[in-house]
Chains A and B, each alone.
Chain A
Amino acid sequence: MEIFQDVVCPVCGCLCDDIEVSVENNKIVKARNACAMGTTKFLNYNNDRIPSPMIKNNGVQKPVSLEECIEKTAEILVKAKYPLIYGLSLSSVESVKVAIELTEEVGGVLDNQTSVCHGPGVQGIHDIGESTGSLGEIRHRADLIIAWGANLQEAHPRHMERYSYTSKGRYRNGKEDRNLIVIDVRETLTAKAADKFIQIEQGKDFEFINALRTALRLEQIQKDKVAGVPVEEIEKLAEVLRSCEFGVIFFGQGVTQVNGKGRNIDGLFSLTRDLNSWTKFLIMPARGHFNVAGVNQVATWQTGFPYAIDLSRGYPWYNPGETTIIDIIRRGESDATLVVGSDPIAHFPPAISKRMITTPLISIDPAHSMTTMVSDVVIPSSFAGIEYEGLAYRMDGLCLPLKKLVKEPDNTMSDEKVLKMILAKVRELKKVN
């Protein structure tokens, strides 16, 4: 039995890197320290693999050789006038780099899950800027933690233990030294664990943030209740924010994907900035996929923009709402889609999914999904952080190395390698043309 120490968990944005993985006969048998989500992936990732490369022929996917798939994919991409490349949040940074180069080569658009999750949070940085920090700063110093529209306990099970509420740092000895306030529309498990839960009405985050900013400036709110919360309680909350030593807000999709979207974020970022005139205050997103932050990082340093990058003009262009995948498909402008490690067909609005399959669809994925089921070309790949190594970025932007723990199945290879083969083929075809 081989034991791997300090393994980085390739599940959520926490990227816990203290996992001890035991491997027997090329099979993971144990993942110590991992949470339920991590354990499930480490032990069960290998179920439901795509057995072979496939191409759809007369409406039926048929096994073919990998070379045929690569060739077909390259043909589709070269022929397309405005192809989309989407996904990559479950791939290594190295894979993302190849995907950007491929997008540049075919003159398409590269978009990522950010588009449908934390995009407004990223745009908030363009608008306001962000007072943030590394997760260790929270662990050492935070005496006030606010989870706003973020269900840390269920979406990031080890977040509290490693980085926030119950973690032990230099100046804080666990939850006795901290105050956890949850602001959400329903009583989540995180809310149940909190010192205080403030339930606001659905879709009224923006109102509530503004009321809080008013109260923070010690100005009077001319109402009895805002977002279903009595004004006295909002004033009390403002006082808690002002008087802490070191506060932090973790926000989730309960803020970014509800009414107000980017406005909510602008409000929260402004609130955090203003609080730094009273005390020390940070804010950070609780990012979902393990390398969604990595896609934003690499895309930003290579192209200047974090996601929704249109390379059809030759230079990078970015206009969320125009160059974001759902908007492009809704307008019927794209004429091919390459999906890497994501299932948009299952998760996008039905009308968009329906339109997506009217143009050629290619999937690179280790396992079956609704998207692979309807794809014209399916290329099986291996799992980053389990079957191939590379880099990934934690939700606070910290870069960590993913490990290779087991050998990938014979007919699969990493996203990085598959994308490189496609890129080489695309260049070859473009030369011939």
Chain B
Amino acid sequence: MHDILIKNGTVFDPINNIDGEIIDIAISKGKIVDKVDESNAEVIDASNKIVLPGGVDIHSHIAGPKVNMGRLLRPEDHYRNLKPKTSVKRAGVGTSCPSTFTTGYEYSEMGYTTVFEPANPPLKMLHVIDEFNDTPMIDKACYPLFGSNWHVMEYLHDNKEDELAAYIAWTLRSVKGYACKLVNPGGVEQWKWGGDVEGLDVAVGNFGVTPREIVKGMCKAVQRLNLPHSIHIHANNLGMPGNYETSIETLDSMREYAKENTNGKPNPIAHLTHVQFNTYGGTNWMNITSGAEHLAKYINNNDHVSIDLGQVVFSDTTTMTADGPFEHKLQTLTGNRWVNADIEAETGCGIVPIKYKKSNYIHAIMWVTGLEAALMIDDPWKVCMTTDHPNGGYFTTYPRVVTWLMSQKAREKYMEKVNKRAKSRTALESLDREYSFSDVVISTRAGTARLLGLNDKGHLGVGADADVAVYNIDLNKIDPAIQYWKVRKALRRADYTIKDGEIVVKDGEVVKSVPGRSYWVDSKVSTDLAKSVESEIKEKFKDYYTIQMSNYIVAEKNIINSSPITVQAEV
């Protein structure tokens, strides 16, 4: 592996307080170093180009049984993007549900180097890992689902907090998960009888616990386990008019568990994901509107919360979530094709293709809501840019979303094409905030890496992973607020993507295929507790599942580049 020297680039590295300075970045043995011997290094001339840390996506559905069912549901989706094999690339297809190789290549070609998959049943994690092994170019990890898990609800019902924490630690370690995802807590269990929960205080039948108790209990457990990432939550009532109230109530119920950081501020402990789907005002489908103002106000006043956008991009895409009851509602509303897939003792899943139309009032409101949230929440460290791929749009549309954040002109231009009533009933037009490049780096790299607890990613300081992206944007000539389309075009194809110190993309094309790592978290709880909980799980296992406990556990030998992160729990 050659040393690499990126010379004369305009560097944005907010973690190290570098804001558009022209400096050289030296790379050796997969890491950022102080300097390298220029005569022995591969030199990249980045004059008049920008140099950023590799992209870190906090929430993108790229692998697992749900995504694969999406691929199977939509052969017509694939025909829009047919990728032949090349000397370095495997063949592939797909736009909203791309095949695994294509997913890796297209992320890398955009300058992304790390992508986290946000929702899979623990029972199906062997499948997820199997797909991760076939997703090259990027580092990956997955957040297993816990929101309607029988063990969780039973431990909560019996007030067994230590055991709950130990159970979560055991599950993450056994199935190789990274963080805890809650999707419509309690509601998915209800859906297995055809129902749902409608608020935080409606008990989940047969279990006698409420969504509020699940959210609070899980939050507390995650805090005690010292997991690197906070609770990743998709609130109840997702997609429903007026649901911003449920979202705020959910976040507020978790506030008491926040720990203070060294600055005396609370650490983020709740990540409200695809906030756009969680933040509607109004009372019905006729008067639905954006609730972003209310949510932004709450988040501006509370530091225990982070969010990602789940921005809608008008396109023909595929919605997929563990929120089975939501997808059933969407199917009955749209009449579109529908997949439902419930998973024993753990969770569910629904998939419905959707076409977001500019002329449609509700879709336009969704588009506005995401952008308003991004522009009304003051601190970019709290905001991650996502489309909740593929729910709001494909990940390949990120450059477009970024330009909406960076340019009021881009928004105005686009707004001319969207539903007029939506425009007149929201505040987006009046928002003149424009993200700087530093803000963009925070919401696509630095902030996401920090929220995920990835200390070696999201920045270009000495010792960081040498994951770097170089884009052909000459800030002497281009003002992102004015010539936003040039920024969009440049962000779509990186001039260079460097992964772990190797040039993997050149001129927007993959030149080398690398496998990427799979991260997972091993939180060490006290030996006695771990033992007693494991025997409890063993006792219940035969009753809850249709497989043996030993076959539930994902062996490390099945993982390409298995990368455990060990933390010490407080239980």
Contact = CB atoms under 8 A, between A and B. Distances in A.
Q: Is the interface of B mostly helix, strand, loop or mixed?
A: mixed
A398 B124 contact: yes
A75 interface: no
A71 B123 CA distance: 42
A279 B84 contact: no
A170 B546 contact: no
A315 B339 contact: no
Contacts of A311: 85, 91
Interface stretch (B53-61, B71-79, B177-185, B305-313): B71-79
Nearest to A15: B547
Nearest to A401: B551
Contact of A163 (B342, B343, B351, B546): B546
Contacts of A137: 192, 342-344
Contact of B543 (A135, A170, A316, A398): A170
B551 A8 contact: yes
A86 interface: no
A135 B546 contact: yes
Nearest to B90: A104
A101 B90 contact: yes
B342 A134 contact: yes
Interface stretch (A61-69, A200-208, A294-302, A372-380): A294-302
A205 to B, nearest CB: 22
A246 B92 contact: no
B345 interface: yes
Contact of B73 (A97, A129, A282, A313): A129
A134 B552 CA distance: 14
Interface string A149-190: 000000000000011000000110000000000000000000
A18 B342 contact: no
A282 B339 CA distance: 10
Given A300-B71, A302-B134, A399-B124, A131 B84 contact: no
A432 to B, nearest CB: 16
A279 B192 CA distance: 10
Given A101-B90, A297-B68, A301-B131, A282 B99 contact: no
A346 interface: no
Q: Which of B67, B94, B352, B546 gathers the greatest number of chain A CB atoms within 10 Å?
A: B546
A273 B67 CA distance: 20
A126 B73 contact: yes
B68 A300 contact: yes
A428 to B, nearest CB: 15
B551 A400 contact: yes
Contacts of B345: 136, 140
The contact size tier of chain A is 35 or more
A141 to B, nearest CB: 6
Q: Is the interface of A mostly helix, strand, loop or mixed?
A: mixed
A303 B78 CA distance: 9
Nearest to A168: B543
A104 B85 contact: yes
Q: Which of A135, A305, A316 gathers the greatest number of chain B CB atoms within 10 Å?
A: A316
Contacts of A133: 340-344, 348
B550 interface: yes
B437 interface: no
Contacts of B547: 17, 398, 400
B130 A17 contact: no
Contacts of B332: 277
B82 interface: yes
B343 A6 contact: no
A128 B353 CA distance: 11
Contacts of A276: 194, 328, 340
A22 B429 CA distance: 73
B360 to A, nearest CB: 22
B83 interface: yes
B496 to A, nearest CB: 26
A397 interface: yes
B82 A132 contact: no
A130 B339 contact: yes
Interface string A305-327: 11000010111111000000000
A247 B240 CA distance: 28
Contacts of A302: 90, 92, 99-101, 134
A147 B243 CA distance: 41
A122 interface: yes
11 contacts: A101-B90, A105-B85, A136-B546, A137-B192, A141-B192, A170-B543, A246-B193, A300-B68, A315-B91, A399-B124, A400-B551
A-B CB proximity, top 9 nearest: A136-B344, A314-B84, A133-B342, A304-B93, A129-B337, A315-B82, A6-B548, A280-B194, A304-B78
Given A302-B92, A398-B547, A401-B126, 8 more contacts: A6-B548, A131-B339, A276-B340, A277-B332, A304-B75, A304-B78, A305-B78, A397-B65
